[in-house]
Amino acid sequence: MIVCSCNCLTEAQVRESCTRTEGAARSTFEVYKCLGCSPKCGTCARTIRKIMDEALGGGACNTCPAAAMACGGARIGQALDAAIGRSIEPFPAGAALTPAE
């Protein structure tokens, strides 16, 4: 099935670009890059993201902590916790920052 009529990209090409063993795409822009093109009208971006999520078993952010931070996923705090080996408390909403003395 064609998912991008501007670049004639198929669903199979999108799946392959994000599941290859080296240089796998982790964002819609990277899919275009892997396939040697660039976004034109952008209508296909949501469909490409959906195909990527399906191919990666629920989302690119499940792959590694770095991917979670790169794609702006909701798991950034968890990725940071995993990277430093301890929990980070979130800054309370509405609290004012004060300079250290």
> What CATH topology corresponds to 1-57?
Arc Repressor Mutant, subunit A (1.10.10)
pTM, entire model: 0.56
- Cα three-residue angle 21-24-30, rounded to 5 degrees: 170
Tell me the per-residue pLDDT of 29-54, one tens digit each, with 9 for 90 and over.
Answer: 899 999 999 889 888 999 999 999 88
Q: What are the start and end residues of each CATH 1.10.10 domain in the chain?
A: 1-57
State the pLDDT confidence band at 57, using cuts at 50, 70 and 90.
confident
